[in-house]
Structure 1
Amino acid sequence: MPSLLSSAIAHPARNQHLLLLQSSVAQTCLPVLRDVVQRSMERAREKTILFCLLYPPLSFLDKASRAQTDRLLVVDRTTYVPGYSDGLDFNDDVASFLRSAIMDSIQSSSLNIVIDSVDTLLSDINSVSATTRILSELLSIVRTRGGTSRLIIHVLAPCPLLPILTQTRFSPSLTHLIAHPTALLTHIASAYLTLPPPLSPPEKFWGVFIPISERHYESEKLVYGSAGEGSGLQDFVVEILVRGGADATGRRRGVERELEGWSPALGGPCEVRELDSLKSLCSEKPATEMQIVPDPTQNLPFNLNLTQEQAKSRAQVPLPYAHEGKPPVQASMPAAILYDPDSADDLDDDDPDEDLDI
């Protein structure tokens, strides 16, 4: 059975029309986005429109892929500067390329619109409401195409558009991929003694992981701090959130959340424990090793252990219990204090202060 991450990249579900990929300053999601674009072009009878606003087209496609003009339309706006560059605005670009895509792909069953990235688009338009309206129109166009058509959005968090795009009002169904540095899992394991599932209960792990991961400055400190290793295209973890839609059997989905790894050396998606930087963290100790308890009597100059004869003799010594042989106190009986008087105790009932004139 394919994982959630593999399904989101290579096998999109029907009626799951919104794919949101989230990067941060601490960890980029560019390798996942590149794989999404490549896989969308490999599927037959699909058209892909790629709007490049942050990364150039060569970051996603090689020359052979760009030559497939029958499946791909690319608009490169990485050199566009509002107020200084000549050319159409984004609304005109969208309308022009959508008309071209619809006319050229009448026989296509699906249409993929990729935007990299919406925070750059927001910076160009300088209006949250206008940017949201454009994205909502694009999502409506994708829904009308049906099938596995998707609006694929890349966002760099924190971004004012992110809370809007994740609301059910914008889209009831959502596939949300969030990239996190592996240093975040190492920090949670050392500071909060919480390992990723299945080494820890999912409820406990997500209760600790989600609040910390949403504080982006902590991840930035772990990566770029004095003990950080910096960021790049090395191994990282991906938080996958799937809401709504239907699975392979046609059953309605609720909300699913998983954590998977991404390794360039392994070719993409993998389990968290397969990442080189987390192998020591996720390795489970054998049960026999965990049950071994160190002996506190080792390396002592004297012997604290008893031989069999000494233990037998010790067991035969009568214990000087004062109340031995008496029935135990029942739970229903009132509590009482049993006291054996000492030889020096004065237990007369006379008042010790009777000679005082009070």
Structure 2
Amino acid sequence: MPSRSSGDTGPLLSGALDNAQIPHQSLCVISDSTSFSGLNIFKETLARGIRRGEETTLISILHPPEILLPSSTSSKINVIDLSNSINGHGEESTSIESIEEKILSTYTSGQIFIDALDILSEDYSASKVLTLVKSILSAIKKAKAPSRLILLLPPSSAIYHSLITPSFHSTLTLITPHSPPLVEHLSKSYLSPISSNPSPNLWMILENTTKRSSHQDMALKASSEKIEFDTCWTQSQGGPAAIVHVLVRKPTGGIKGISRSLEGLKFNVDDKQFRLVDLDQLVDLNPFSKPLTAGVTGGDKIINTHSELDLPFNLSLTDEQRNKRAQVPLPYAHEGEGASGDLIWEDEEETDDEEI
């Protein structure tokens, strides 16, 4: 699939995963949550870069490097394991300045992956971590393209909203995975169809859901049956899958320089890799519009009630409600009966003269 410009409408996820965006994006943030993690996308992006033979720097803070790295690796990978160096997370402790020195002293070009930047902000301070990110982005700017920084970061982090603002960095690729049942539930609840080029209403719903960290609560309501938090996407039918919301921001253009897309990502059991799939393979694109259902005798039955339509409000009346409504006396319903219907016209000029 060819890469697309951030100003185009259409698929954006393929270019983001393969680091083939036009124009180039040097900062990519993958949203993470306890109910539906972005770790799979983080690992898939890392694995694709390694398969392409790109120079890669992996900074492991929370997850052990062997969990993040694919089974087959190359000599172009520089692993900086900080899992035993962060205050409160290991036997040794170090300063944020020494961490910055360790990263920048070994970096020449390529992609930099950091798996848990929020832990650094908790153990040190948000301002120091933001300064660290700016130093890394400055080094990436000097390096040969397509070098970039990929961060796995929960929206609830204290530094998340500072990182994604245009004042911090003009360009941005923001990748937010959603549970397919959750997206279908939100679409049904707010009467917003699902499409690869989502409507502004659906954008707002998904962004507010992420901003308010309501994935956990909504995930439990997304199914009539009780479901547990599906961090690794294991409960999707047919294998791990996600509905991915991609936002790409160009350096200039304001709102016109922002592109969004909703795309399906599913694990392929045959080659053990994630593949982009059509949305209708994962969700019902129009879950609230089901006017017909198969009857007991095999014929189609028209759905009349809001419960059958699975809507949050009533759109129809039962026969008993119609009869009761017909018996309600309406005020002024018979006013004017018996009038002759003759109209009396009055000359406006004569009336004005009389009034004067």
TM-score (norm. length: structure 2): 0.68
- TM-superposed deviation, 1:185: 1.4
Q: Per-residue displacement from partner, 1:256-281 (whole Å, max 9, x unpaired)?
A: 01111221137333222222xx2486
Stretch of structure 1 that moved more, 18-27 or 183-192: 183-192
Q: Which residue of 2 aligns with 1:6?
A: 14
Q: Which has the larger radius of gyration?
A: 1
Is 2:153 the counterpart of 1:155?
A: yes
1:348 alignment counterpart: none
2: CA distance, partners of 1:256 / 1:215: 22
Deviates more, 1:72-81 or 1:86-95: 86-95
Counterpart selection for 2:61 from 53, 60, 74: 53
**Structure 2 alignment gaps of length 5 or more:** 3-10, 234-240, 295-299, 305-335, 342-356
SS of 1:20 mapped into structure 2: strand
How has the CA–CA distance of structure 1 residues 154 and 208 changed in structure 2, closer, same or farther, with 3 Å as cutoff? Answer: closer
SS in 1 for 2:25: coil
Q: CA deviation at 1:231?
A: 0.8
In 2, the alpha carbon distance for the partners of 1:201 and 1:128 equals 33
Match of 1:143 among 123, 133, 141: 141
Q: State the alpha-carbon separation in 2 of the partners of residues 259 and 280 from structure 1.
A: 11
Measure how far apart 1:112 and its partner are.
1.2
Report how far residue 338 of structure 1 moved: 7.5
> Are residues 1:95 and 2:101 paired?
yes
Superposed displacement of residue 213, structure 1: 3.6
Q: CA deviation at 1:78?
A: 2.2
AA partner of residue 145 (structure 2)? G
Partner of 2:244: 238
Which of these residues, 276, 295, 309, is aligned with residue 269 of structure 1? 276
Match of 1:76, as an amino acid? Answer: D
Count of aligned pairs between the two proteins: 278
Secondary structure in structure 2 of the residue aligned to 1:241: strand
SS in 2 for 1:143: helix
Deviation sequence 1:286-322 (CA, Å, 0-9, x none): 99x9xx996x9xxxxxxxxxxxxxxxxxxxxxxxxxx
Contact between 2:155 and 2:210, CA under 8 Å: does it hold in 1?
no
How far residue 7 of structure 1 moved from its aligned partner, in angstroms, is 0.6
- The residue that corresponds to 1:85 in the other structure is 91
Conserved in 2, the CA contact under 8 Å of 1:26 and 1:180?
no
Alignment RMSD, CA only? Answer: 3.4
* Structure-2 residue corresponding to 1:227: 226
Which residue is 2:80 aligned to?
75
2:126 to 125, 128, 141: 128
CA contact (8 A) 1:273 1:282 kept: no
| 2:27 alignment counterpart | 18
Report how far residue 285 of structure 1 moved. Answer: 7.4
Structure 2 Cα separation of the partners of residues 20 and 48 of structure 1: 17
Tell whether the 8 Å contact from 1:47 to 1:112 is kept in structure 2 after alignment.
yes
Equivalent residues of 1:17, 1:149 under 8 A apart = yes
Partner of 2:49: 40
Does structure 1 retain, via aligned residues, the 8 Å contact 2:184–2:287? no
Deviation at 1:50, TM superposition (A): 0.5
Other-structure match for 1:27: 36
Q: Matched residues in 1 for 2:276 and 2:218: separation?
A: 23
The residue type paired with residue 115 of structure 1 is: I
How far apart in 2 are the matches of 1:133 and 1:101? 17
- Hey, what's the Cα distance between the residues in 1 that align with 2:167 and 2:117? 18
1:254 aligned to which of 257, 267, 283: 257
What's the TM-score once normalised by structure 1's chain length? 0.68
Q: Provide the secondary structure at the position in 1 that maps to 2:141.
A: helix
Q: Which runs of 5+ in 1 are unaligned?
A: 103-109, 247-252, 297-335, 342-358
Shift of 1:135: 0.7
User: How many angstroms apart in 1 are the aligned matches of 2:340 and 2:258?
Assistant: 69
2-side partners of 1:201 and 1:11: how far apart? 23
**Is the contact made by 2:29 and 2:153 (CA closer than 8 Å) also made in structure 1?**
yes
CA contact (8 A) 1:22 1:29 kept: yes
| Identity rate, percent | 23
- Deviation at 1:87? 5.5
Measure how far apart 1:206 and its partner are: 2.2
By how many angstroms is 1:230 displaced? 2.7
Aligned equivalents of 1:33, 1:227: Cα separation in 2: 28
Contact 2:37 2:232 in 1 (8 A): yes
Quick check: 1:214 aligned with 2:219?
no
Shift of 1:242: 0.0
